[in-house]
């Protein structure tokens, strides 16, 4: 195979000279920013939202910035560290690593490249040149819980989830607690599919939940399979990551969407200006990092008003989604009446509220 490689190069020299002119991709003084994506960009989902953020960054800063991305980098194994390192050696000054599994690789590369700045999404380990950022997705979930509680007839909500990690558990509990404020009989059935992106499995899980009586389904995975399945079966659905109304025009009630645009623009501006400092950002509805997508016309005006009121209260801090009294599945009090969870307790959430059917771990 050594022969092969040499031959490839030899043969390539014979190509037309016009092809030999290298194209200067970036202006010389352009600030290079890198993005690592865990999945292909596609046309909806987690990675797609980060790509929208990258595009917004390019649109805002123009030729002052060159924003490279590498998509479909596996979280598992040794690949991520190599790709992050490659971006750093290639002159990227600020690197966004957009999935939890990139945490250790990001920190390792950051140690080798102390002058390069890194921002890791959804992790909890920081360093002098490593920031973290994420959003309170559960605030958006809480709003969908109100709608779900009002719209369900069977009082069963089906929830297709990827893995039992705190971020997912927060969403499930938030939906349950919100739904019960308007409909105390609601229960949630959860199916874990052990994958962030597996449309076949996600769809099969949704079908199972619907056959078990769920007339509202939602998902914490990255495809639109659940929304599409719900549209076919004629049950209500909620989208996640991106606005998914177009995948279920009749039955998709709304979506919890993420918006990283301002974070990427602000952080990159600071890095260019030299004022960037390692920080921990946890945005939410108030900062606009989490948004509720357009509402389906099927949502009654009274419910719309209810959602708008709750959103205003969450943004002002008057409503805390994880406020007591809350019991877990075993009946133990997790949040006392009058108390609310600290950020630390929310970040490590590893229990299901009473009313969630499904096992953790």
2 binds another protein (CB under 8 A): yes
Segment 173 to 232, residues that bind another protein, using CB under 8 A: 194
Strand 156-161 to strand 65-70: parallel, antiparallel, or no bridges (unpaired)? unpaired
Segment interacting with another protein, rule: CB under 8 A, options 79-87, 113-121, 213-221, 334-342: 79-87
69 binds another protein (CB under 8 A): yes
- Per DSSP, the three-state class of 76 is coil
Give least dist CB 243 to another protein, A: 23
Residue tagged 């645009």 (tokens): 261
Among 46, 50, 54, 81, binds another protein (CB under 8 A): 81
Spell out a b/e string for 79-97, using b for 16 or more CB atoms within 10 Å of the CB, else e: ebbebbbebbeeebbbbbb
Whole-angstrom Cα Rg for the chain: 23
337 binds another protein (CB under 8 A): no
Q: Please report how many Cα atoms fall inside a 13 Å half-sphere around the Cα of residue 110, on the Cβ side.
A: 23
Question: Would you say 271 or 349 has its CB closer to another protein?
Answer: 349
**Under a CB-based contact definition with an 8 Å cutoff, are residues 260 and 305 in contact?**
no
330 binds another protein (CB under 8 A): no
Q: How many residues bind another protein (CB under 8 A)?
A: 55
**Under a CB-based contact definition with an 8 Å cutoff, are residues 360 and 165 in contact?**
no
Q: Give residues with Cβ within 8 angstroms of 327, minimum separation 6.
A: 333, 334, 353, 354
Among 43, 104, 232, 280, binds another protein (CB under 8 A): 104
Round to whole Å and give the CA distance between 162 and 160: 7
Give least dist CB 349 to another protein, A: 7
CA distances from 67 to 25, 64, 181, 221, 349 (A): 11, 10, 44, 26, 35
Question: Would you say 30 or 154 has its CB closer to another protein?
Answer: 30
42 binds another protein (CB under 8 A): no
Helix (H) or strand (E) holding 118: strand 117-121
Give least dist CB 318 to another protein, A: 28
Q: Give residues with Cβ within 8 angstroms of 198, minimum separation 6.
A: 221, 223
15 binds another protein (CB under 8 A): yes
Q: What angle do CA 234, 238, 242 make, to 5 degrees?
A: 125
Among 166, 199, 288, 324, binds another protein (CB under 8 A): 166
Give least dist CB 90 to another protein, A: 6
Among 62, 74, 114, 300, binds another protein (CB under 8 A): 74
Give least dist CB 235 to another protein, A: 29
Among 60, 64, 79, 266, binds another protein (CB under 8 A): 79
Give least dist CB 341 to another protein, A: 14
DSSP state of 211: H
96 binds another protein (CB under 8 A): no
Residues that bind another protein (CB under 8 A): 1-5, 7-9, 11-13, 15, 19-23, 25, 34, 40-41, 68-72, 74-79, 81-83, 85-87, 89-90, 100-101, 104, 124, 163-166, 169, 194, 347-350, 361
């Amino acid at each position: 195979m050594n022969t092969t490689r040499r031959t490839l190069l030899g043969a390539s020299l014979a190509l037309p000279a016009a092809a030999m002119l290298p194209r200067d991709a970036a202006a010389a003084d352009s600030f290079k920013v890198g993005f690592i994506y865990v999945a292909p960009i596609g046309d909806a989902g987690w990675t797609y939202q980060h790509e929208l953020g990258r595009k917004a960054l390019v649109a805002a800063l123009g030729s002052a910035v060159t924003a490279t991305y590498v998509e479909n980098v596996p979280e598992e194994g040794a690949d991520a560290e190599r790709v992050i390192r490659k971006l750093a050696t290639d002159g990227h000054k600020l690197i966004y690593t957009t999935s939890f599994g990139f945490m250790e690789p990001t920190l390792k590369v950051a140690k080798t490249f102390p002058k390069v700045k890194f921002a890791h999404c959804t992790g909890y380990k920081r360093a002098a040149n490593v920031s973290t950022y994420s959003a309170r997705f559960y605030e958006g979930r809480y709003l969908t819980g109100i709608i779900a509680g009002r719209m369900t007839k069977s009082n069963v909500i089906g929830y297709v989830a990827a893995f039992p990690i705190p971020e997912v558990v927060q969403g499930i509990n938030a939906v349950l607690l919100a739904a019960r404020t308007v409909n105390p009989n609601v229960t949630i059935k959860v199916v874990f599919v052990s994958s962030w992106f597996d449309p076949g499995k996600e769809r099969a899980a949704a079908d199972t939940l619907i056959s078990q009586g769920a007339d509202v389904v939602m998902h914490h995975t990255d495809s639109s399979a659940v929304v599409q399945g719900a549209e076919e079966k004629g049950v209500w659905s909620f989208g996640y990551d991106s606005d998914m109304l177009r995948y279920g025009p009749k039955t998709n009630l709304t979506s919890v969407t993420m918006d990283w645009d301002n974070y990427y623009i602000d952080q990159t501006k600071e890095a260019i200006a030299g004022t960037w400092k390692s920080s921990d950002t946890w945005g939410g509805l108030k900062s606009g990092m989490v948004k509720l997508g357009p509402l389906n016309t099927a949502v009654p005006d009274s419910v719309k008003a209810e959602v708008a009121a709750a959103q205003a209260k969450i943004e002002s801090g008057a409503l805390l989604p994880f406020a007591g009294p809350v019991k877990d599945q075993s009946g133990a009090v997790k949040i006392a009446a009058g108390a609310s969870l600290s950020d630390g307790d929310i970040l490590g959430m590893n229990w299901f509220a009473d009313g969630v059917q499904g096992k953790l771990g």
